[in-house]
Structure formats: structure tokens, C-alpha cells
């Protein structure tokens, strides 16, 4: 490895991490279940190689040499900062711990899929117990300020502290709980027609068309189906999205596709000059992703899914296409009925199918349980019962079973404890970005009103996407909106929307 430049070393690291992404995409979309053990070993090997490369003496020498070069740009300085921080982080974590985690989670994901299908938490429990123990070891190794959960959150949202997160949750609860209770006590819009028969082939056709309309580039991407939808990239020219189609519920595949397309557009619109650099890699999590943080990524998926895809303006332009895609299915329904139906709020056990008003309660539930698992106040054995109790507390319903409760999310099987807060952060930041976009450029709303989404996408690209990981999440938020994290725009948006949808509230 001698005599390589820093750029060449980082490009090699990028190749390894993107290869892991490709293996993980395959594992979730087409790999035979019998291959899970071997795939786990393959991913573990590549994770170990990535960590070894990052921590090698040759890499350190190349980084030190590059820092001495004259006229360094902001991007180069920030890349050096990211590399320095990652090296310090990974030096604290034993390589065997990283390899064990990579292998365990690859196998655990397959076990989780089977357990979820069979409503069998007991089958997944021993794997989850091992994952929790490994995450505790990671937290202890890297250290934290207030609580070990902060060490896990840092992998997904650098700089986020538990008191700040809990304060945000309290702010949201103070206004969303009374609003949700009032809405749920009001007469509900009819939504029975969302559960009619929608053949998968036509759903795919519609979802592909609408994802293209908002700006996802299928010449550099593709749409697959999987158990738990996700987006993953191997480069800005290979950004893949997944969804799941339910032939008796149009929302799942349609809005799942728009959500993942929002993620995909972030990755597709990073500055090409940043490809294969430290500014398109999550060096802490050893994951190839250009988005500045998971929360920022989620801000874009939620923005495109909800602020655009669930808006009345969107469907005033596209409802006729929906009707023609499913002949005879919606001929008795008008666009106003459809808009009210897709935004109907009611308690639901399933996070990914939750409406905007109740979604954050699902996140609070998971975060509270994760905090307990990591500090030892919650046992894995107790999760099914506690899950149902918290669902009852927040939404007034119990979990119908473990498949629709504690087993519904893929995250724990992949070792992604600490990532759930980023969904609510994404909701909050997305509202801040949207408010800023509309205030700074009134033409954006005019374009949206005529089904032209390019001005909004170009604004988001200029302000967010093109920068990759050049800025820390808090830096980027402040740079774009002039504000730190602020729930005000998000709460105002939800209150205005749901009071209009439910006039008696």
C-alpha cells in the first residue's frame, strides 16, 4: 500500500464500503436464506478490511502529508476532520468486536425475517440479546457524556445529546398528544376505497412514474421489493430503492416508493467531485452514504413523501393518472375524498404505515425502549409486553401480536440501535427546510402548483444534496435555515393541516 496518496487510499476504502452495500442490497432483495451465514462472514471480512485500512500506518502517513499541502479548500479541511474523528473512534473499538457485529447482524437479519413472518419473537430473542450486549460494549469503548445511548446515536446523528433529544420529544408531546386525541375523537374521513384491489404490476407502474416525476433518475437507479423498504447506493450513479406492495392497500407501496425516492435523490445529486472521497462516506459507521446524517437523509424522504406526495396540490394533478392506472377501482371517488383518506389519522400499530400526526409517537416508543436496553433497565425478555404498554400509552391501542409489534422493524436485526431518533429529527428538519425554501423563493410554490418539482429539487440540491458530508448536520441546518433545530415549523405545519382536515377540532 506504500506510495499511495490520501485520495487513493480513501477511494480504496470507498470501494470496500460500496461493495458491502451491494452485498447487503442483495441479501435483502434476492439472496437465498441458506446463504445468510456465508454472507455474514463475507460482510464481516470486508468490514475488518475497511477498519484495518482506515487505521493503517500508511493511511495515517498519507493523511498527515495531505494536511501539509498549501491552499487547502474547505472541503479538504472538512474531509481531514472527518478522517481524524473516525480514526479516533475506531481506535477505541476492537477489530474483533466490529467483525463479530458484522457477522452477527447479517445472520440476525435473516432470522428476523423468518421470525417476523411466523410471529415468533422467541426465535429472534437470542440474537437480539447478543446485539444489545455488543452495542453496550461499543458504547463503553467509545465513551459518552450523559448516557451510553449517546454513543450509539453519534453513529447516525453526530453531536446529538440525550437531554436535547428528550427536550425535543417533550416539546412535541405537549402539542401533538392533545391534537391527536382531538383528531381521533372527531368524525373520520372515509378511506375504505384505499383497501380495494390494486394489482402489484399496476402499482409498480404508477410508483415508477411518480418517482420519476418528482426527480428520481431511473437511469441511475432501480426499484425492487423487499420486506422492509430502504434505499442504498453503490455510487451516485447506482442508487437503488425498494418498496413493498400490498394488493389490498394502495398507500404502502405508493408512499413507500416516494419516501425512498426522496432518499435516492439526495444520493443522486451529490456533487460528482465528491465521489470516492471522505465526504461521501460515513466513516464512523463504515457505511457508504453521501447524506450528512441519517436525520438529514430522513428530512428529505419525509419531505418528498409527505409535503409533496400527500398534498392536495399533488393529487389534483395526478389523481386522474391513479384512476386510469386502476380502471374502475376509483371511478366513484373524487380527488378531495382521496386526499382526505390518505391523510386520515388514526392509531396504528405499524410505524411505516402511520400517518404524519401519529408517526413520532412510534419513534418515542422505540427510543424509550432502546435507552432501557442499553442502560440495563429493560430486558429483552420484557420487550413484547413493554412495547404493547407504550403503544397503549401513546396511541390507545395494544400491539395485536409480535409481528405487528416488537418484530415489525428491521433495525435491531441490523444492529442499528440509536438510529430511530433520526426519523423525528428528519420530520423537524424537513419542515425547517421547506419553510426556508418557500420563503426564500416564492416561485417554488408556484412551480409545485403546476406539478413542476424541478425548482424545489434544484433548491434542495444547491443547499443540501450537493455538499455530501462536507458539513456536520448542525452546521448544515444553521447554514441553510439560519436556525438550530426548531420544532416550531413542524408543529405549525401539522396543526394547520389537521385542523383543516378535521374542521371540528
Tell me which of 23-32, 205-214, 419-428 is least confident: 23-32
Q: What does the pLDDT look like over 299-325, one tens digit per residue?
A: 999 999 999 999 999 999 999 999 999
CB 468 within 8 A of CB 280: yes
- Over range 171-192, report the average pLDDT: 96
**E strands present in 203-358:** 221-225, 231-235, 238-243
Rounded distance, CA 251 to CA 427, Å? Answer: 19
Give strand pairing partners of 225.
Answer: 243
Question: Which residue in 205, 453, 450, 176 sits closest to 307, CA to CA?
Answer: 453
So which residues are the catalytic ones?
260
pLDDT at 45: 92
- Over range 43-54, report the average pLDDT: 93
pLDDT at 2: 61
C-alpha cell at 165: 433529544
Asked if pLDDT for residue 326 goes beyond 70, the answer is yes
Give residue limits of the domains in the chain: 6-147
pLDDT at 322: 98
In percent, the amount of the chain with pLDDT more than 90 equals 94
Rounded distance, CA 85 to CA 100, Å? Answer: 23
In percent, the amount of the chain with pLDDT more than 70 equals 100
Q: What does the pLDDT look like over 416-434, one tens digit per residue?
A: 999 999 999 999 999 999 9
Neighbour count for residue 170 (Cβ, 10 Å): 10
Q: What does the pLDDT look like over 279-295, one tens digit per residue?
A: 999 999 999 999 999 99
Neighbour count for residue 334 (Cβ, 10 Å): 10
Rounded distance, CA 470 to CA 465, Å? Answer: 10
Amino acid at each position: 500500500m506504500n506510495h499511495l496518496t490520501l485520495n487513493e487510499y480513501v477511494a480504496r476504502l470507498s470501494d470496500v464500503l460500496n461493495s458491502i452495500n451491494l452485498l447487503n442490497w442483495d441479501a435483502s432483495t434476492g439472496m437465498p436464506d441458506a446463504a445468510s451465514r456465508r454472507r455474514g462472514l463475507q460482510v464481516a471480512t470486508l468490514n475488518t478490511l475497511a477498519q484495518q485500512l482506515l487505521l493503517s500506518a500508511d493511511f495515517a502517513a498519507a493523511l498527515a502529508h495531505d494536511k501539509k499541502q498549501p491552499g487547502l479548500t474547505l472541503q479538504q479541511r472538512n474531509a481531514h476532520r472527518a478522517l481524524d474523528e473516525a480514526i479516533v473512534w475506531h481506535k477505541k473499538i476492537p477489530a474483533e468486536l466490529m467483525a463479530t457485529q458484522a457477522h452477527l447482524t447479517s445472520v440476525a437479519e435473516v432470522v428476523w425475517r423468518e421470525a417476523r413472518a411466523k410471529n415468533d419473537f422467541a426465535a429472534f430473542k437470542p440474537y437480539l440479546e447478543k446485539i444489545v450486549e455488543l452495542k453496550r460494549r461499543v458504547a463503553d469503548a467509545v465513551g459518552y457524556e450523559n448516557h451510553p445511548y449517546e454513543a450509539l446515536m453519534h453513529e447516525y446523528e453526530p453531536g446529538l445529546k440525550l437531554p436535547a433529544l428528550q427536550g425535543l420529544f417533550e416539546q412535541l408531546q405537549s402539542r401533538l398528544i392533545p391534537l391527536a386525541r382531538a383528531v381521533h375523537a372527531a368524525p373520520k374521513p372515509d378511506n375504505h376505497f384505499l383497501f380495494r384491489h390494486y394489482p402489484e404490476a399496476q402499482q409498480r407502474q404508477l410508483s415508477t412514474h411518480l418517482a420519476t416525476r418528482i426527480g428520481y433518475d431511473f437511469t441511475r437507479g432501480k426499484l425492487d421489493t423487499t420486506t422492509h423498504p430502504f434505499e442504498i447506493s453503490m455510487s451516485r450513479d447506482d442508487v437503488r430503492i425498494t418498496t413493498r406492495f400490498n394488493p389490498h392497500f394502495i398507500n404502502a407501496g405508493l408512499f413507500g416508493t416516494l419516501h425512498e425516492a426522496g432518499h435516492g435523490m439526495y444520493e443522486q445529486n451529490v456533487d460528482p467531485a465528491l465521489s470516492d472521497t471522505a465526504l461521501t462516506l460515513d466513516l464512523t459507521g463504515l457505511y457508504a452514504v453521501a447524506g450528512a446524517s441519517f436525520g438529514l437523509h430522513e428530512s428529505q424522504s419525509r419531505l418528498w413523501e409527505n409535503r409533496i406526495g400527500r398534498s392536495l396540490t399533488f393529487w389534483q394533478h395526478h389523481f386522474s393518472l391513479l384512476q386510469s392506472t386502476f380502471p374502475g377501482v376509483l371511478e366513484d371517488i373524487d380527488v378531495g375524498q382521496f386526499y382526505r383518506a390518505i391523510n386520515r389519522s388514526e392509531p396504528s400499530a405499524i410505524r411505516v404505515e402511520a400517518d404524519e400526526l401519529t408517526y413520532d409517537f412510534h419513534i418515542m416508543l422505540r427510543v424509550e425502549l432502546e435507552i432501557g436496553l442499553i442502560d440495563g433497565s429493560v430486558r429483552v425478555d420484557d420487550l413484547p409486553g413493554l412495547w404493547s404498554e407504550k403503544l397503549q400509552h401513546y396511541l390507545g391501542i395494544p400491539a395485536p401480536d409480535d409481528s405487528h409489534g416488537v418484530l415489525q422493524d428491521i433495525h435491531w436485526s441490523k444492529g442499528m440501535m440509536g438510529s430511530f431518533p433520526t426519523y423525528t429529527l428528519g420530520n423537524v428538519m424537513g419542515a425547517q427546510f421547506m419553510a426556508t425554501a418557500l420563503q426564500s423563493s416564492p416561485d417554488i410554490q408556484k412551480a409545485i402548483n403546476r406539478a413542476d418539482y424541478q425548482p424545489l429539487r434544484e433548491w434542495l440540491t444547491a443547499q443540501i444534496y450537493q455538499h455530501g458530508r462536507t458539513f456536520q448536520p448542525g452546521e448544515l441546518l444553521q447554514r441553510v435555515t439560519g436556525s438550530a433545530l426548531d420544532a416550531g415549523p413542524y408543529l405549525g405545519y401539522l396543526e394547520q393541516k389537521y385542523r383543516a382536515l378535521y374542521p371540528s377540532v
